[in-house]
Amino acid sequence: MTRSMRRIRSSAVLAVLAATLLTACQTTGAPAPSAEQTHRPPPPETTPSSPLSDAPGRVVAQNKGWVVRAHPATKTGSAYCYATRTDDSSPLSFRATAKGAAMLVNADQHAQAKGAESRLTAIFPDGETMALEASPLPDGGVVVPVELPKYEDLFEPFMRSRAVTLQRDGGGTDIGDVNLGGSSWALAALDECRILHTDK
């Protein structure tokens, strides 16, 4: 075999060897996904149970047996203010956001109005009665959403009265007599908190 033939054969061997090494480098690494992995459905999206913030509230006012807390906005929930009795003895609480307010009866502060509706009757000591549009909640409580322009008009009897009896229509079930002592201060403080601490 001549020298030139040896050179040609050596070049050919080197070329084949280089191609083999290049292919091996390209095919090594992460293994191909299995059929189960390629057909696995994407994980379900997690959505917050409420559009309200889940951040802890900061006490911004406390007086007359009531406390008002401001909950700052988060990436998934809007800011809101929440007024409740300091000793948690009352079934009644109030909530305000930048866009609306709500009265909650035996309900969690994040409770949201759903499609179903019922009527809640408020009976005051002077004989005045008020029918409120409410939404029942799975835990047995109710939420009464309030538009901001009607905020003061709707809550005015709750602010001037010392007590109220709440009754759910349909079954006539009494929620009970609720002490409203200090509610005038609480609702005024809640509205101030709404103005100062909720995003517009």
pLDDT at 197 over 80: yes
pLDDT at 4: 46
Give the contacts of 155 (CB within 8 A, at least 6 positions apart).
Answer: 94, 103, 146, 187
Rounded percentage of the chain residues whose pLDDT exceeds 70: 72
Q: Can you tell me the distance from the alpha carbon of 87 to that of 182, in angstroms, rounded to the nearest whole number?
A: 13
35-73 residue pLDDT tens? 545 455 544 443 345 799 999 999 999 999 999 999 999
Give how far Cα 89 sits from Cα of 24, 93, 105, 178, Å: 73, 10, 12, 9
Each residue of 39-61: b (16+ CB within 10 Å) or e? Answer: eeeeeeeeeeebebbeeebeebb
Q: What is the pLDDT of residues 8-37, one digit of tens each?
A: 444 444 444 444 434 444 544 555 555 545
Q: Which amino acid is at 129?
A: T
The rounded distance, in Å, linking the Cα atoms of 115 and 104 is 16
Number of other CB atoms surrounding residue 23 within 10 Å: 10
Of 117 and 46, the one with more pLDDT? 117
CA–CA separation, 177 vs 16, rounded Å? Answer: 93
Q: Which distant-in-sequence residues (6+ apart) come within 8 Å of 48 by Cβ?
A: 54, 76, 77
